[in-house]
Structure 1
Amino acid sequence: MDIAKRYFLEVAYNGTAYHGWQVQKNANSVQEVLNKALSTICRENIETLGCGRTDTGVHARQLFAHFDLTGDAEVMDPRFLLSLNSLLPYDISAKAIVNVHSDAHARFDALSRSYEYHIHFKKDPFKHNLSWLIRDIPDLEMMNKAAEIIKGYTDFSCFSKSNTQTFTNNCRISDAKWVKKDDGMVFYISADRFLRNMVRAIVGTLMRVGKGEIVPHDIRAIIESKDRSNAGESVPACGLYLTEITYPYLRNSQSLTYNSNHGKS
């Protein structure tokens, strides 16, 4: 009986043409396209499991998925990624692959996840579906004051999509800040985990602060209410990017350096 080997695959994608990461009925997803390409090149049925899920139209500069391989496909050969990318469409890229311990898990072993939300103020054809175009410039200083308040909480029920099957709505946010750019601004946020629609709901709420509809201190009442209807609207998906996932056994995630002494604690 063949012993399966587990691999972590790092991918990036433009999510405009997809109904999110996760396989679903009657809708095109990134995971489905990736599974088909891997199954073709490995000559066996491959089902990936991602570090999380992105919604329709959301992008990823870095997403990890693990899969098991029982056959003899030479996936660690540098030519494997070249072949895999030749099967993938232009908007999905396989960046790196590494052999990991058999119980390594792309979702449950992740220590942190980071997102960016991009906003621009002037019409730009090269940012269409890649950033949110708004007319009025919000108050970045006020939004950062509100973002700092958010970091002091853990229960984010008010920012969660309703009727989700989560055990807890608690998250530990380690970073949340707005940064001005020449042609717009970017919101950076990192946490140990995120709820469905959480980042887009946070950005929508902070935008209310930036527009002067509420003051930073009002964020406390919104979070403590645990009521989604009290928070701001979800902003468009086009500006959201999953940018980084960290693991205890992957050093320097860009090169996927693997610690062969890895053992789950």
Structure 2
Amino acid sequence: MRYFLDVAYDGTRFHGWQTQPNALTVQEVLDDAISKVFRVPQVESIGSGRTDTGVHAGQQWVHVDLPKVFTPEEIVYKLNRLLPPDIAVRQAKQVGPEAHTRFDAISRTYEYHITLEKNPFLVRHAYFLSRRPNVEQMNLAAQALLELEDFTTFSKVKGDTKHYRCTINQAFWLEEDNRLVFTIQANRFLRGMVRLIVGTLLDVGKGKLSVHRFREIIERQDRSLSSGAAPSEGLFLHRVDYPEGYFDQQQALYNQEAHRLQALSNQEG
């Protein structure tokens, strides 16, 4: 049976989401917990997206196949008992056998957090800037993100990306109480894209780039023109969205699959 898990984590001590050799990752720790709790020898969880080293997630949907029917409450309770304090399963959903956290998602929203005052309680969760950038200019520049679709400029060279087109629906900065938050939503993101965008927008805010130049950098489709990536500690995968009514439909498919397997079991018995 297939389940979606809504997972949140502090990425500080992890080398990103995806399992890799000789490095501690969120996926590795989660899969190990699933294997032990539900007695599954090999677990291959699939995340709705990848996060890099040090990046956090308020919502990372993960799907996993388990050998029998479990209630969402059972899954959440049992996993949270074993998972470390910096990883939590917030909810679980019963879904159909073909449901896919990555391919079925229609948008992802990231937030980048900046603090304008030195705060020891935010050192792992916000990038500290000693001087306020020009937020108004950064918001003007960010409008170009909504009007263009090829973001080669904000992509890393390595990877198996087939194209660099993304549809960005939201991109804006908000300021409140010595905090800046950049919100960006798109149908897909390239590897390292958000941190490169933030780093380049901050150069606009510092007066190093004009609003016109920011747009020109994107249109040139030249990776060498982007500024350096903003530090990882300020970045959060904030939310992953699915089509309207998606989970209701998936619950119905889950119920059908559960009834089918029960009928087969009764026949064999």
Could you state the TM-score of these two structures normalised by the residue count of structure 1?
Answer: 0.91
Residue 79 of structure 1 deviates from its aligned partner by 3.3
1:180 maps to which residue?
175
Residue 98 of structure 1 deviates from its aligned partner by 1.1
Give distance in 2, aligned partners of 1:238 and 1:62: 16
Greater helix percent: which structure? 2
1:225 maps to which residue?
220
Residue 250 of structure 1 deviates from its aligned partner by 5.5
What are the equivalent positions in structure 2 for 1:165-204 lying under 5 Å apart?
165-204=160-199
Could you say what secondary structure the match of 2:169 adopts?
strand
Give distance in 2, aligned partners of 1:247 and 1:199: 21
Please point out which of 140, 149, 153 is paired with 1:154: 149
Any stretches of 5+ residues in structure 1 without a counterpart? none
What are the equivalent positions in structure 2 for 1:64-83 lying under 5 Å apart?
64-69=61-66, 71-72=67-68, 74-76=69-71, 78-83=73-78
Give distance in 2, aligned partners of 1:101 and 1:248: 15
Alpha-carbon displacement from aligned partner over 1:84-130 (angstroms, at most 9, x marks no partner):
10110000001111111111111111100000000001111110111
Q: RMSD over aligned Cα, in angstroms?
A: 1.6
2:60 counterpart of 1:55:
no
Alpha-carbon displacement from aligned partner over 1:183-235 (angstroms, at most 9, x marks no partner):
22100000000001100000011011100111101122101111111011100
Give distance in 1, aligned partners of 2:110 and 2:18: 18
2:72–2:91 Cα contact (<8 Å) kept: no
2:264 maps to which residue?
none
What are the equivalent positions in structure 2 for 1:135-146 lying under 5 Å apart?
135-146=130-141
Residue 82 of structure 1 deviates from its aligned partner by 1.4
Give distance in 2, aligned partners of 1:171 and 1:261: 32
2:116–2:130 Cα contact (<8 Å) kept: yes
| Bigger Cα Rg | 2
Give distance in 1, aligned partners of 2:143 and 2:6: 31
1:28 maps to which residue?
24
Give distance in 2, aligned partners of 1:200 and 1:40: 35
2:96–2:250 Cα contact (<8 Å) kept: no
Could you say what secondary structure the match of 1:41 adopts?
helix
- Which region of structure 1 is more displaced relative to structure 2, 236-245 or 99-108? 99-108
The letter of the residue matching 1:116 is: E
Give distance in 2, aligned partners of 1:104 and 1:249: 15
Please point out which of 222, 234, 242 is paired with 1:239: 234
Give distance in 2, aligned partners of 1:203 and 1:25: 29
Structure 1 outlier segments of 4+, above 2 Å = 256-263
The letter of the residue matching 2:59 is: Q
* Length, aligned pairs only: 253
Residue 260 of structure 1 deviates from its aligned partner by 3.6
Could you state the TM-score of these two structures normalised by the residue count of structure 2?
Answer: 0.90
Please point out which of 116, 130, 134 is paired with 1:121: 116
Give distance in 1, aligned partners of 2:75 and 2:253: 24
2:28 counterpart of 1:13:
no
Give distance in 2, aligned partners of 1:77 and 1:29: 24
Please point out which of 124, 128, 132 is paired with 2:127: 132
Any stretches of 5+ residues in structure 2 without a counterpart? 255-269
The letter of the residue matching 1:199 is: V
Could you say what secondary structure the match of 1:83 adopts?
helix
The letter of the residue matching 2:182 is: F
2:94–2:251 Cα contact (<8 Å) kept: no
